[in-house]
Amino acid sequence: MIRSTLRPALWAVLLAACDAGKGPRSSPPPCPPCQCNCTAPATANNPTSPVATPAPAGSDDQAAALLTSANRKFAHKDGVGCLADLDRLTAIRPVYASSTATTRAFCEMLSGRCQQGKARLDRYWRDEQNMHPERAASSTETMAAMYCRGGDSNDRDRLLAALLDLNMGATETHTLAQCEASYQTVRSLQARVKPRNVDDHQVANLRDTLYASAPQCFARAGDCQRARAVFLENFPPERFAGLGPDIRDQSLQTTFVAIVARCK
């Protein structure tokens, strides 16, 4: 046998080595000396050994849990809860402050701190992503339209948010109350919010696009009668100004069903 061919001193060394890696003799029997694959006990310098050192307070596991929680709360539009998690996260791991800057900005918007979130996001685009200032401002406004809710949102923020909501209502079903609330917001603000410059097409062309975008939301929500009323309320009258009443009504109906296919 293999054991009989080994010198007693060598056998003792191998058996002791196996015992050191396998634990007390009450544990399962050690492997035969010729197959022994012993591992040194766990130490601070050997964290990959079978017995792991307990994680300290403020560990990476805790940071990962807080980050996951913050992202989940953000997805569920809980801006206040998201910010609380991010505050705890950066308190134990300050390095996360930069990588979570956009999430913090979005959660600030959701929590009603729209201007603070916009300023943070604009700085991030320019400083961290080296984005052109005009593009940074445009990208920030797009995100603000998605996430700014109440709080210190200004008229422009509210108008862009309502327009986005109406446009989204054309592809995902909103309730009639949602469509109506966004539509009334647009109607109340469109005369007050002025285009910032010649490139501000969304605001500058609002009068010429609302008749096509708003009815889609109502149609998808299941109210074609309201969709047609909104269409007629916003269709530029000068387009059919030279037509007689019958031709004009027929042309309006043809245009309406062409735009709002759900109401054919």
50 φ, ψ (degrees, to nearest 5): -55, -30
pLDDT of residue 58: 60
**pLDDT per residue as tens, the chain (264 positions):** 444 444 444 334 333 343 334 343 333 444 443 433 333 333 334 433 333 333 444 678 999 999 999 999 999 999 999 999 999 999 999 999 999 999 999 999 999 999 999 999 999 999 999 999 999 999 999 999 999 988 999 999 999 999 999 999 988 889 999 999 999 999 999 999 999 999 899 999 998 899 999 999 999 999 999 999 999 999 998 888 888 888 989 999 999 999 999 998
pLDDT of residue 238: 87
Contact present, 156 and 193 (Cβ < 8 Å): yes
Reference 112, options 76, 154, 145, 149; nearest CA is 149
Rounded to the nearest angstrom, the gap between the alpha carbon of residue 255 and the centroid of all alpha carbons in its chain is: 37
The burial class, CB within 10 Å (0-12 / 13-18 / 19+), for 132 is exposed
Q: State how far the alpha carbon of 124 is from the alpha carbons of 4, 89, 139, 143, 232, in Å.
A: 73, 19, 11, 13, 43
Amino acid making up residue 147 = Y
* R_g of the chain, CA atoms, integer Å: 33
